[in-house]
Structures are given as C-alpha cells and as structure tokens.
Structure 1
Amino acid sequence: MISSNTPKKGKFIVIEGLEGAGKSTAIATVNAWLVKKGLPVVCTREPGGTPLAEQLRSLVKQADPSEHIAPETELLLMYASRVQLLRNVIEPALEAGTWVLADRHDMSSRAYQGGGRQLGDSLINTLRHAVLGTTRPDFTLYLDIDPALGLARAARRGELDRIEQEQLAFFERTRATYLAIAATEPNIVVIDAGQSIEQVQMALQQALEHANLCPI
C-alpha cells in the first residue's frame, strides 16, 4: 500500500526548436505559467545543466579549426551530457515531486544528429534505450521556424557557435526531422515560432491548458 506521504512525481516538460526559434522566451513563459499554478519547478538546459555537463557543452559548442568533430563524437558527447543531467538533476527532481522544465532534451539529438548529421535512427535509438531507460518527457513544445529566419535572428544576437555556423541545408534536414517526430508522437505540440512574441506566448499557454497537465 502506498503511503499518503509518498511524494507525487513531478512532470517533465521540454522546449525544443531550431536556433532563433525563441526558446528562452518560451522557457520564461512556461515557467511563469507553472509558478502561477503553484507548482515547484526547476529549469535545465542541454547540453549542460551540471558542472561536468557544462564542460561537455563547451566541447560541443566551441569551434576548433584544427580538428573536425565527427558526427558520432558529437552524438556521444550529447548523450554523455544528457545522462549526467538526467541522473543528477532531472530524475531526483521528478521523484521529489518537482516539475522539470528543460531547454532541449532527447528530441534534439534525434533531429540534429539523426537528421541534420544524417546519422539515422539505429545508433541513436540504441543510446536512448541504454542511457535514458524509460524516462521520457510528459509534454514537449516544439517551436517551429523557417531555418533561414531562425538563423537570421540568431546572427543578430552575436557570434555564432560551432553548430550555429552550419549550412542552411543542415538546419532544413533538422527541421524536417523535428516535424516528422512531432507528427508521430501525441505528447508533442508544434508552435508556430514565426509569429509575434505575444502570439507565441498565447499559443504556448493554450497548449499547456489543453494538455491538462495539472488539473488543479
């Protein structure tokens, strides 16, 4: 018999999208919505989120003209960072009843490395099952934007990192993969990120309400 004092598990919400899609604004909007509902929430980002994972983030993001990073190496670094965050932050928070709001998770690797880098599904699925186990997001909001528009927005923010410097075709493949995944998984909602900030914020709030994540 489960004790009434057993903490209720938190929910795991993920924000996904290409560069320039407005993930930071979306995170702030969703976080405010959760706080208004009186829910405990912790925000994370990938790659990163723990001291070691942040070091791996630097390896992934920083361009080094002296050495090419193989697509498989990039993928393994992403999953090394991800499992570190999962074990040390995400899973303990969920078990304690805290909601987790993540800037990227596993869908990013499926889209960027699987689609953009054209590694396909086989290796990624093996890694997913091996290191993530059964942990999956309860709800994902994918901010969809035309890659050319997203990159133009990202460029206005300043210097681009190694991945942001990829060719447009890379991001077009990534976007296509994102949309293909979203079309097959019911807990993913696609948000038109090409709209105004106000329209995107309204769409995010409506999606959260319709998902009935916290019927309180």
Structure 2
Amino acid sequence: MQFTLTELWGHMGLFAKLIVFALAIMSVASLIVLGERLVVSFLSRAASRAFAARVGPMLARGELEGAWTAARPGGESGYLGRVIGAGLAAYASSAPSRLPAQGHERDGVFESVSRALERQAQREVLSLKRGYGLLATVGSTAPFVGLLGTVMGIVTAFQQMAASGSGGLGTVSAGIAEALITTAFGLIVAIPAVMGYNYLQGWVEARAIDISESSNELLDVVAKRLDGRLAPAAEEAA
C-alpha cells in the first residue's frame, strides 16, 4: 500500500470518513465567518475614520447641533458614528432651552447622553463580535474531533491485527496511518480558526478603547456646553 491521501481515503472506514466530513464542514464554516468578519470589520473601521474626520472638527468647536445633523442615518458611519450619533440624539432630545443649565436639569441631560453612549457602545461591541463563538468552538474542538477519529482508527487497526492472528508493525501500519490523518486534519482546521479568533478579539478590544475615548470626549463637550463654557457656534458668530 502506498501512503498517499487517495490510498488512505480508500482504506478509511465509515467512522473515519464521517470525522473527515465533519472537520471539512467545520473548516468551511470557520473560514466563511473569518472572511466575513474581516471584511465587515475593515469596512466599519474605514467608515468610522471618515465619520471622525467629518464630525470631529464640529465637536471641537462645540457645534453639537451641526454634528447631530451630520451624524444622522443616511449612510454608513461605522461603529463610531453609531455610538456618537446615539449620544448626540440623546442630547438633541433633552437639551435645555437656556445655557448654562442649572442643577438637576444639567445632571439629567448629562446622564441621558452618558447612558445612550454606553448602551450603543455595548451593542456595537456585541455586533463586532458576531460569529466569534463559532471560531472559538472550531478552534477548541477540532483537535479533539480529529483525536476521536485517531482513537477509533487505532482500535480498528488492532481489531484487524487480532482477526488476522499476526502481529508486527506491518500489519497495523496502514490502520495507524489512516487514524493519524484525522488528527492532522483536525489540527489543520483548528490552527486558522484559533489564529483568526485571537486576531479579531484583539481588534475588537482596540475598537472598544476607541469607542470609550470618543464617548468621553463627547461627554466633555456636552459638559462644557451645559456649564456655558462652550457657546454654540451661532452665538459665537453673533
């Protein structure tokens, strides 16, 4: 017997072939999720950078109303745009009629904006992590699925040796080689899934920091507006 993939596949039993099919399905699913998440993540990051370049200068000048208009839905603004847009929407709906705001009115507006930012940030992080559970599951279970095929293949090889009544490596070498193929296949499936999961997990953690910093910057601007330390652009022009 030649120890080629074709020869080994031909000598595989039904159980080993089922293991290989299961690993193939896991591999395809993990690669699809990994590719889709990479594309979505990079597009969202590009949209977030464009949003920051468009709205950032307005917020620096205290133009919360103009920033809210620019941040309204009508195009892809990325995770950052959706978070900041939620905060601006909360400010627009609860902004005081006169500045500086006093007492509970100021605290109520600030808390409303803060809660809106926090809620949307949690939604965005959860959305960015969509599909990560499948990658983690494939990365952690694929080696064990392959090992299951190996164990059963070795059991089959020893059963064949017992049935033939002869021992020696030559009698069981084909069966052992067939069995070890499933372990190798399991590792081949798991390694890209683990690497992709770790990369994406680190990427999301970095984006969570970006969202937190941008939210804090918006809260600083809102606090200054409510305290009267940052006048609206229209009042400055007058």
Normalized against structure 2, the TM-score is what? Answer: 0.29
TM-score with structure 1 setting the length: 0.32
Higher helix share: 2
Asked which structure has the greater CA Rg, the reply is 2
